[in-house]
Structure 1
Amino acid sequence: MGWKRHRGEGKRIIATTSTRWVHRTMRHFLMIRLSPGMGIFAKIAVVYCASVSLVVLSMLYYYQALDFNYNLKYSMSIGTELRQRVLLSGQDTWNRSLDSLARLWNESLEGLPRIEIKIRNRWHWPFYSPSNPLMTRIEPHFNMTRIYTMQKISRNYFNPIRHVIDYRDLDAFRTNCNIKSFTMKNSTGENHKACDVVHTPIKHYRTCAVVGSGGILLNSSCGAEIDAHDFVIRSNLPPTIPFQKDVGRRTNFTAVNHARLMAVRKALKARNPAIRAAIFSRLSSSPGMVFSYSLTLADNKRNRRYLQSVYMIAKENKIPMIAAFSHQSYMSSKGLWSKMGGRRWTLPSTGLNMFGLATTFCDRISMYGYFPFPDVHGRPIPYHYYDGVRKPHSAHKMKGEFDMFQKLHRQGVLRHVVDKCDATI
């Protein structure tokens, strides 16, 4: 016992001595007066330690953010894959489940008043607002598997980010971007960066109507069906209101070639007020319409001057129109038709280019007014529905394009309408 007590007292003595030594050392350290040189060195050391700590904390935050971003992208990719699987299956799991529940509910209520469960269209997957009954009727035509395959191909040639650029971004584009390659000027070699200083007014749409000017539209009664699409595309600003029963009146996007751009510019500057009023009315008939020049603009002073004139006059007269341009001509994407149609046309028609562009931002495309023949069922038809032109441009291979549209129609890639429409709901 004595030995144990002595050992315990020894521990207390050692602990007391060490505590006093620490206190004495700290008191001496605090009383140290540093020389000016040592003071500067101490400040530098403090700043350095603080900087290193901030860097370490920033790196930890950065890697944590990367990990979160990776998990988010992974979750989004899984969600996208599930969505595509549902779409490709052609089945509506959500509605099928509700149908089963409704049937079980009604069967379990023998002798009681029957209760109907109404299934609303807005709960389809992917969720979207109730579609027009006309669209619901035509959607079974499309083969989404083939459409997605086609979109992967066409997006290598067309892209609204490059081919439909807001005209207000022209100066930023010419200053910061390489016109031909659509890359930033300060990025070269393997580190080239896509031009990201421009914007497009085009979004992604479920249903699109690509409307030509063929005389096949006369007496077709397709106007209501055309206007029921989410997005309506036309070429060269044709008149619509006088023919709206057959061609519809909506226009969300119109691409014009060089001849039509000059004609629109001339009409806007005409001395005759009736001519100006007519072109103002046509440009204002669909508020928010995108008026796009389909040829190269940024490196062509004359074309740039023409489109600028149209843009300025429209702005001064408060015409609700969005002017747009392309970084290169739509004709530069001819390789697409070799892969899709097996032919490389030297001069694709505007309608063919409109279809190629539409495939990049629209899932279900219906085409109207593309019929190159002079008659149907023994009835003569004009080349355009609004004038007396009888023959197409000799450089366009319209019959070959027609055959390709028909082939894609049979495959469910597009819907090629060459007959009258059923306007009843």
Structure 2
Amino acid sequence: MMTKARWRHVKQFGIVLCVCVPLYILLSRQRVYTKTCKRLCNKFNECFKISQAVLVYDDDVNESDMTFVQNLMPELSPLQYISEFLWGTFNTRDCHIQSYFRHVHLPSRQRTCAVVANGGILLGSNCGDEINSHDFVFRANLAPIQGFIKDVGYKTNITMLNFESLSRIYRNFTEKSTDSKLDRPAITDRLQFLNDSILWFGKSMQRQEAKLKFKKVIEVLRQGYRFPIRVAYSWKSISIERYWNLQHHATTGFNIYSVATQICDNIALYGFYPFSELEDGSGLQHHYYDDVKYFFYRSHVHNMPLEFSKLQHDAKKENIRLITKKCK
């Protein structure tokens, strides 16, 4: 004989069944449901703007399986949608990456970060030890480290490549002719300092077959040279010009800084100084590792002095430092 408590459970199960089955049949007519994410969250429940999210491929993912899909919101099956609908999570705008994106993860939040640009002001700065002391170090475009450790340090956690640098590396490793500005030995020398750090292409994967070039570069570096590098791309091509009111294309260094503000509690900026002279009037070379004659810091492409003024404004905050003096 069925007890009252058991009968109550049967009735509750029947009600749930009567609701879910018709709902599933109705929702199954649409194959997928798109979830809108404003932020992506990692396993530590740290969330970052999806428009500036850095997606790092898991170490066991082969380069041939890297898809670099951008601008794609998660698509849920009818069963997933029903589950999220019943739990009230479908309309949440914070999306945990492990639930919706396969084979990738997000960097964790960092206490202190160094963003190292390539300006000539770093030469003779003696900032190397200070840069190395940070929890996380960003660098740009495979600038050389060997021979400059005293000034720029050696620690590297992530290196952002722009399209020009990616194309130059691709040409040197896949074509017979080499680029005189950055040949294969120079690239391999620079890569030696990356160890297992992250090589990150932050722009659109559609431009001039950037996806194919990046995959080929990763394949050559991993398979041919055994460099244990990790690979990252951006969920969306980093495009911060409107937000920062730049009116020109942002430089690689400024793009890195914008993303670092999402990841880092405290940021120190090195090598950002877009002028050919110091305050005392002494000359300054363009990069810390070489000089470029007749370089225009303000052009139709970039407006570096404007970016610098915005960094100066941000440096008034307690958690942002803009280093333009020698460190010791």
TM-score (norm 1): 0.56
- Residue 157 and residue 361 in structure 1: after superposition, are their counterparts in 2 closer, same or farther (change >3 A)? same
Does residue 253 in structure 1 map to residue 158 in structure 2? yes
Deviation at 1:242, TM superposition (A): 1.2
Q: Distance in 1 between matches of 2:50 and 2:212?
A: 30
Q: Is the 8 A contact 1:296 1:325 kept in 2?
A: no
Aligned twin of 1:235? 140
What's the offset of the Cα at 1:232? 0.8
Q: 1:51 to 1:203 in 2, by over 3 A?
A: same
Aligned ranges 1:190-339 → 2 under 5 Å:
191=90, 195-200=100-105, 202-269=107-174, 275-297=183-205, 299=206, 302-316=209-223, 317-331=225-239, 333-337=240-244
Structure 1 residue 261: Cα displacement: 0.3
The answer as to whether partners of 1:157 and 1:336 remain within 8 angstroms in 2 is no
Change (3 A) 1:302 1:207: same
Task: From 367, 381, 388, give the equivalent of 2:291.
Answer: 388
Counterpart contact for 1:374–1:382, Cα < 8 Å: yes
Paired residue type of 2:188: F
> How far off its partner does 1:186 sit?
4.8
| Number of residue equivalences | 271
Deviation, structure 1 residue 291? 0.6
Distance 1:403 1:266 in 2: 36
Deviation at 1:303, TM superposition (A): 1.0
SS of 1:206's partner is strand
- Structure 2 CA distance for partners of 1:289 and 1:306, relative to 1, 3 Å: same
Q: 1:51 to 1:319 in 2, by over 3 A?
A: farther
| 2:292 is the counterpart of 1:401 | no
Q: 2:251 is matched by which residue type in structure 1?
A: S
1:369–1:54 CA distance, 2 compared to 1 (3 A): farther
Residues 303-322 of structure 1 deviation map (CA, whole Å, 9 limit, x = unaligned):
11101111111221210211
CA contact (8 A) 2:111 2:264 kept: yes
* Residue identity opposite 2:286 in structure 1: Y
1:398 to 1:272, Cα distance in 2 relative to 1, 3 A: closer
Aligned with residue 358 of structure 1, among 260, 276, 298: 260
Q: What is the CA distance between 1:275 and its match in structure 2?
A: 4.6
Match of 1:3 in 2: none
RMSD between aligned residues = 3.7
Q: Which structure: greater strand fraction?
A: 2
SS at match of 1:308: helix
Which letter maps to 1:329? S
1:15-414 pair list within 5 angstroms: 155=49, 157-161=51-55, 164=56, 168=61, 179-184=70-75, 186=77, 191=90, 195-200=100-105, 202-269=107-174, 275-297=183-205, 299=206, 302-316=209-223, 317-331=225-239, 333-337=240-244, 343-376=245-278, 377-390=280-293, 391=295, 392=297, 394=299, 395-414=301-320
What corresponds to 2:19 in structure 1?
none
Shift of 1:276: 3.5
Gaps of 5+ in 2: 17-45
Q: In 1, are the aligned partners of 2:202 and 2:233 still within 8 Å (CA)?
A: yes
| Alpha-carbon distance in structure 2 between the residues aligned to 1:411 and 1:361 | 16
Identity percentage of aligned residues:
27
Measured after TM superposition, the shift of residue 371 of structure 1 is 0.3
Structure 1 Cα separation of the partners of residues 214 and 66 of structure 2: 16
What is the rounded CA distance, in whole Å, between the counterparts of 2:76 and 2:214 in structure 1? 25
Shift of 1:349: 1.4
Task: Please state how far the C-alpha of 1:336 moved relative to its aligned partner.
Answer: 3.0
Equivalents in 1 of 2:202, 2:274: separation in Å? 22
- Cα separation, 2, equivalents of 1:270 and 1:277: 14
Q: Hey, which of these two has a bigger chunk of helix by percent?
A: 1
